[in-house]
Amino acid sequence: MHRVAIIGGGFGGLETAKRLAKAPVSIMLVDRWNYHLFQPLLYQVATGGLSAADIAIPLRFILRKQKNVQVWMAEVTDIDVERRMLIAPPRQIPYDTLVVAAGVSNGYFGNDHWSTAAPGLKSLEDAAEIRARTLYAFEMAEQEPDPELRRLWLNFVIIGAGPTGVELAGALGEITKDTLREDFRNIRTEEARIFVLDMAPRVLPSFPEDLSAAAEHSLIRLGVRPLLGVRVVEIGANGVRFERDGRQDSIGARTVLWAAGVQGSTLGRLLNRRAGAELDRMGRVLVEPDCSLPGHPEIFVIGDLACYRLAGGNTLPGVAPVAVQQGRYVARLIQARLQGATLKPFRYLNKGTLATIGRHHAVADFGRLRFHGPLAWFLWLFVHLLYLVSFQNRLLVAIQWAIQYFTFNRRARLIVPPPRHAPAAEPASSSKPSL
């Protein structure tokens, strides 16, 4: 039996496995975690609207009826491309075809020390950390008598104005204006300031300009302050220093969130060392038109980890539909090859993109058709519910969204576990902060 090993149970890896359900192959799906994560809603877990179990589904549960798949919770530490063997201590996993769909992690453009001060949003643990830090900041502000130190707790800086940054900022705006409004006695949560920084001259830089403008308008109505065309030069426990128009400036803030960049999984570097894979600036693996690794037709790289170049010189974006379509393509190609055939190169069909900014607002880009406002927002709700993997989760997310819509409440406002790198609360008499 032809052995297919898949690394990663995200959108790409899971789709590959499912589409091979009827193929005469035996599949080993390896993941560090035991669940598939619906990343597009991760920011809602980070902002207390949903719980982990609403957007993460055990891989075994999804694949329980597909008897040609084994799910293997393990960390792949090496790949022996000669012997066609994954090394996942203490075991080894042989393969005939390998699909690497290991995704990306937070990337700090070489400033890895920023990760402590500015957690990103790629995993459930990241989401718990962001949730804990954000809520903890309001708790500390409530207790802080010194107005300058209180201001540090009430300033929130989000670095990156792409979809993740904008969605985080929109949710934080709602939280401060509505959700928490009655909860505190010594602070007015509306006084929180939410900054969104980006190097680009506009928010949602990957969207058309008119939608960027609409998104920016919605953010400002939620009290969010976009700071665009700025370059971040330093991030510390007390805030962010940045450059704009050649002049340096800074924002003091205890809570800084990172939504500015990603880097390819360590599996990319492994493929570079072991199979001569070429990596782009972000550590993504350059692939052939059929998603395979140059010189290694038996290895495919798909999803966020792949750098798939288009004819014009652009590359495909790191979004779920690309991963899903590549997974589907690779599954078909594997089956074709087993029958001695081959396929035309992979082609991405862009069905459009959506991003939401608080309640009632979203932007929708379907190429020629593009619009924003409540209709886009309903579409966003509908599409995200539709794509949630399990019916049970669709039901429970829909109910929680309805509750949230009518009550402004976000149930999961839990500081648990406590923030990992929360700066110690300092006595009011302490000296003024420096970064």
Binding site for a copy of itself (CB under 8 A): 33-35, 51-54, 56-58, 60-61, 64-65, 67, 70-74, 89-91, 124-125, 128, 135-136, 139, 142-143, 180, 182-186, 390, 392-393, 395-396, 399-400, 403, 407, 409, 411-417, 425-428
Residue 56 or 301 with smaller CB distance to a copy of itself? 56
For residue 56, give the 3-state DSSP assignment. strand
Closer CB to a copy of itself, 33 or 371, in the complex: 33
With respect to a copy of itself, which residue has the nearer C-beta, 375 or 402?
A: 402
Nearer to a copy of itself, 266 or 409 (CB): 409
The size of the chain, in residues, is 435
If the CB atoms of residues 40 and 163 are measured against a copy of itself, the closer one turns out to be 40
Q: Which of 187, 228, 42, 31 is nearest to 122 (CA)?
A: 42
Strands lying side by side in the sheet with 91-94 = 78-80, 85-88, 91-94
Residue bearing tokens 């904008």: 166
Nearer to a copy of itself, 299 or 412 (CB): 412
- Nearest approach in angstroms of CB 404 to a copy of itself is 9
DSSP 291-337: SEETTEEEEEE-GGGEE-B-TTS-B--S-HHHHHHHHHHHHHHHHHH
User: Which entry of 129, 144, 167, 216 is annotated as an active-site residue?
Assistant: 167
Residue 192 CB, shortest distance to a copy of itself, in Å, is 15
Q: What's the closest the beta carbon of residue 58 comes to a copy of itself, in angstroms?
A: 5
167 is catalytic: yes
CB of 147 to a copy of itself, least distance (A): 16
- CA 7/CA 79 separation, integer angstroms: 11
CB 48 to a copy of itself: min, Å:
8
CB of 385 to a copy of itself, least distance (A): 16
Alpha helices for 90-248 (secondary structure H):
114-117, 124-143, 147-154, 163-174, 209-221
Instruction: Give the CA distances from residue 323 to residues 14, 22, 220, 363, in Å, rounded to whole numbers and listed in that order.
Output: 10, 21, 33, 22
- Distance separating alpha carbons of residues 56 and 62, to the nearest angstrom: 11
Residue 101, CB half-sphere, CA atoms under 13 Å: how many?
A: 35
CA distance 348 to 316: 8
Residue 251, classed as helix, strand or coil, is: strand
For the beta carbon of residue 80, count every other beta carbon within 10 angstroms.
Answer: 12
Residue 316 Cβ, how far from a copy of itself at the closest point, in Å?
A: 29
Q: Quick one: which of 431, 275, 327 has its CA closest to 103?
A: 327
Sheet holding 353-356, edge to edge: 353-356, 362-366, 369-372
- Supply the minimum distance, in Å, between the C-beta of residue 138 and a copy of itself: 9
Amino acid at 212: S
Given the complex with a copy of itself, which of 128 and 159 has the nearer CB atom? 128
Q: For a copy of itself, which is the closer residue by CB, 386 or 416?
A: 416
Distance between CA atoms of residues 132 and 420, nearest Å:
9
- Asked whether 175 and 48 are in contact (CB, 8 A), the reply is yes
Rounded to an integer, what distance in angstroms lies between the CA atom of residue 8 and that of residue 19? 15
Which are the catalytic amino acids? 167
